[in-house]
């Protein structure tokens, strides 16, 4: 006889907050941008330097997305020529421990990939 379908032992709030958070992290380089901002405020050009393979187009898109979601703030710096500085918000900083955990798992994934 076919097995009964068991009720799930875990629940998911409607309109899933995990999906919401992942929508923010799914874009290319998004976790990397957050990672580098975790070291303190960073200018556009500095981020391009931190993440050499990111294009200006994508970096710009990511920063605006993160800004619109309240993860990052943009601040104009009154230098010459004027410059823009990006920083994590308080909410953005709450992502750091999670991202560190993910990186830790990533390390083990790589080890496994080598040994198999």
Contacting positions for its own copies (CB under 8 A): 1-3, 5-6, 8-10, 12-13, 15-22, 24-26, 31-32, 35-36, 38-40, 42-43, 45-46, 49-50, 69-70, 77, 79-81, 83, 91, 94-95, 97-99, 101-110, 112-113, 116
Q: Which of 1, 10, 18, 116 binds DNA (CB under 7 A)?
A: 1
Paired tokens of 27: 């874009």
Give the N- to C-terminal CA distance of the chain in Å, as an integer. Answer: 38
Do 42 and 86 form a contact (C-beta atoms < 8 A)? yes
Give the HSE-up count for residue 34: Cα atoms under 13 Å, Cβ half-sphere. 28
Residue 95, C-beta contacts closer than 8 angstroms, at least 6 positions apart: 34, 71, 88
CB of 60 or CB of 68, closer to DNA:
60
Helix (H, G, I), strand (E, B) or coil at 42: strand
Q: Which of 56, 98, 103, 109 binds DNA (CB under 7 A)?
A: 56
What residues line the site for DNA (CB under 7 A)?
Answer: 1-3, 5, 26-29, 43-45, 53-58, 60-61, 63-64, 74, 80-84
């Amino acid at each position: 006889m076919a097995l009964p379908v068991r009720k799930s032992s875990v629940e998911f709030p409607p309109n899933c907050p995990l999906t919401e958070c992942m929508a923010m992290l799914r874009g290319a380089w998004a976790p990397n941008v957050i990672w580098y901002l975790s070291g303190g405020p960073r200018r556009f050009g500095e981020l391009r330097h931190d993440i050499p393979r990111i294009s200006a187009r994508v970096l710009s898109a990511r920063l605006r997305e993160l800004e619109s979601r309240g993860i990052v703030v943009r601040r104009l710096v009154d230098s010459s020529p004027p410059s823009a500085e990006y920083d994590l918000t308080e909410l953005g900083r709450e992502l750091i421990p999670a991202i560190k955990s993910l990186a830790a798992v990533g390390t083990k994934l790589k080890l496994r990939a080598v040994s198999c």
